[in-house]
Every structure is written in C-alpha cells, then in structure tokens.
C-alpha cells in the first residue's frame, strides 16, 4: 500500500494592513493529511475526530485531488484522511491548511514534484472552491512557513522571512459560528478608499515587514494597524477595537483581526502583562455574554511531506 502524509500549519493573514498579501504560519494549529492507494468500502463521507473522505468531488479535498489526478490521467482509487486542530471558520486558515496539505501530499503521491509556487497556485483553487475567492495569503504561509508576502498571483511571486526575534502570539477565538463568513466579510471591504488611508496603510505595511526582519518592537507595533479592511469589518465585529485596547493597555505589541475574523491575533513578549490581560479579557467577554478560547503559538514551518 502506498501511503503519503503531510503536515501543514494553520495561519493568520493580513496582520493589519497586508490584505491578501501578508501571512504567518502558526505552529500551534496543524492539519495532517494521509493519502492511501486503497478505496473505502462504501461511498459515504465519514466525519469523526478524523474526517475521512473518499473520491468525492463535492468536498474540498476531493475537488483538489480530483483536479490533480485529471491533470496526469490518474484513474486509480485512493482515500484521503484528514485530522486537524485548526479551528474551522475562525479566520485561522483552516481551508488553506487543508488545501495545502492535500495538494502537497497528492504531488508526492502522483509523482508530480510540484514547486512551492505550483502548490500555492493549485491550493488557491481550493480557496476559491471553499469560499468563492482565489486568494493566496493563507496558503502561502502554510506552504512556505514563517512570515510570508504574496507579491503577485500571476505569476506566483512570494517571499518568506524567518523573524529575527522570536515572535509569540496569543490567539483570541470568540465562539461565533457563521455561514459563508469569508465571502460576506470580503464584501464589506469598500471599493473606493481615500488617498490618505492608502498612504497610511502603505506606511503600516512597510513598518511591519521591516519589523519582522529587524525585530524592532516599535515597527511591529506600528505595522499592526489598518485604516481600510479592519475598519470596514469593525462594523460587524463590535468587539474588535475593545479587544485591541485591552491588549495594548497591558503591553501587547499589537492586536489584529486574524484573516476575515472573528479570531484576533495579539503579538506578545516579555513586556506584556499576561495575567492582567487575561483577567480583563475574561471580564470583557463575560460582559458581552460571549464565550471565547485562547491559543498560544509561535511561528510555524512550511508544509512537510513524507
């Protein structure tokens, strides 16, 4: 029996003003994909702790695997097993991690030996399948690891940087369930923006990119701002600026909406008063009658296949 396995980190995208461009891999949340050249005994899709998919193109894994098999006229049956602790629908790259994990594993399974750029491009098809938008910020982070920039989608041009200093994140995950969340949240973004906001966001993005490379705290803090996308999405997530304020008041370097939300990503270090920060977060979420979870994470690596 031929077996191929991949391990893929979840991710956070945008990181402030880097909409559809910036991403960072998170090592605390991972997706594991196993592909075997056997067929399950029936045609059902089983969803348990380990979600097992057969050759079914109505699923994201099945869609991607089928497209890749068609490209090389592979007609043999196979099975795909997925295990993941990436929260689904929370703005932490769950669909991106699945897409990357399946594409990278199928690349080896089929002997395609795809480049990182080809994996990113194919995984972006999975993002379009999952949420209607062929965006590549999350998948780039999951493929390359570290802090990533997607410079161009046609052709695929990316950069990946291992931060000069160790970055630690507190992921704040409100317990909110939404249908078609990514598609709707992208619709909130204004088609026209002011020149002033455009210039400000350019400053923020430059600051964050340099902050990652140099480790300068003030640049990272300045860079975790956004006058366009987060401002638009704050009308939906009313807690966004309150949580930002709480995090900053206790010495967090910055706090941003993670991807399309609702999760938020706080960048923390030894200057952050974690005990008081968590205490105030508990009080705040209790006051708005909303449950939430916390996950602590460092920087993740790129996809691994064996």
**What confidence tens digit (pLDDT) does each residue in 214-271 have?**
999 999 999 999 999 998 898 899 999 999 999 999 999 999 999 999 999 999 999 9
Q: pLDDT 10s per residue in the chain (306 long)?
A: 789 999 999 999 999 999 999 999 999 999 999 998 875 444 443 333 233 445 478 889 989 999 999 999 888 888 899 999 999 999 999 999 999 999 999 999 999 999 999 999 999 999 999 888 899 999 999 999 999 999 999 999 999 998 888 899 999 999 998 777 777 888 888 889 999 999 999 999 999 999 999 999 999 999 999 999 998 898 899 999 999 999 999 999 999 999 999 999 999 999 999 999 999 999 999 999 999 999 999 999 999 999
Kindly state whether residues 41 and 14 are assigned to the same domain.
Answer: yes
Residue whose structure tokens are 């860079």? 223
Kindly state whether residues 125 and 190 are assigned to the same domain.
Answer: no
Distance of CA 214 to the CA centre of its chain: 23
What pLDDT score was predicted for residue 184? 83
Which residues span the domain enclosing 285?
168-297
Kindly state whether residues 130 and 186 are assigned to the same domain.
Answer: no
Cα three-residue angle 7-11-13, rounded to 5 degrees: 150
Handedness of CA 269, 271, 277, 278 (dihedral sign): positive
* Domain CATH for 71: 3.30.230.10
Overall domain count for the chain? 2
Kindly state whether residues 84 and 205 are assigned to the same domain.
Answer: no
Distances (CA, A) of 38 to 34, 78, 79, 116, 127: 12, 5, 6, 27, 27
Kindly state whether residues 157 and 173 are assigned to the same domain.
Answer: no
Nearest CA among 183, 204, 202, 206 for reference residue 259: 183
The answer to whether 74 and 85 have CB atoms below 8 angstroms apart is no
């Amino acid at each position: 029996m031929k077996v191929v396995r991949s391990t893929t980190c979840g991710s956070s995208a945008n990181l402030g003003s880097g909409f559809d461009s910036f991403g960072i891999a998170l090592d605390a949340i991972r997706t594991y994909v196993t592909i075997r050249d056997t067929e399950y005994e029936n045609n059902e899709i089983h969803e348990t702790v380990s979600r097992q998919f057969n050759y079914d193109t109505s699923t994201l894994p099945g869609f991607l695997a089928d497209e890749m098999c068609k490209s090389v006229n592979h007609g043999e049956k196979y099975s795909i097993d997925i295990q993941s602790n990436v929260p689904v629908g929370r703005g932490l790259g769950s669909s991106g991690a699945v897409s990357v994990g399946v594409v990278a594993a199928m690349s080896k399974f089929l002997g395609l030996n795809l480049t990182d750029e080809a994996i990113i491009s194919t995984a972006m098809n999975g993002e379009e399948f999952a949420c209607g938008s062929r965006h590549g910020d999350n998948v780039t982070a999951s493929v390359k690891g570290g802090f990533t920039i997607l410079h161009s989608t046609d052709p695929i041009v990316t950069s990946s940087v291992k931060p000069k200093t160790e970055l630690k994140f507190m992921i704040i995950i409100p317990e909110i369930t939404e249908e078609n969340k990514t598609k709707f949240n992208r619709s909130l973004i204004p088609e026209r923006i002011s020149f002033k906001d455009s210039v400000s966001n350019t400053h923020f993005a430059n600051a964050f990119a340099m902050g990652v490379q140099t480790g300068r705290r003030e640049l990272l803090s300045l860079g975790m701002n956004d006058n366009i996308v987060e401002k638009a999405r704050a009308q939906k997530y009313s807690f966004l600026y309150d949580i930002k304020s709480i995090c900053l008041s206790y010495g967090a370097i910055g706090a941003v909406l993670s991807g399309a939300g609702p999760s938020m990503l706080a960048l923390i270090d030894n200057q952050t008063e974690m005990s008081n920060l968590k205490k105030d977060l508990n009080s705040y979420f209790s006051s708005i009658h909303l449950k939430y979870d916390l996950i602590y994470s460092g920087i993740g690596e790129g996809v691994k296949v064996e």
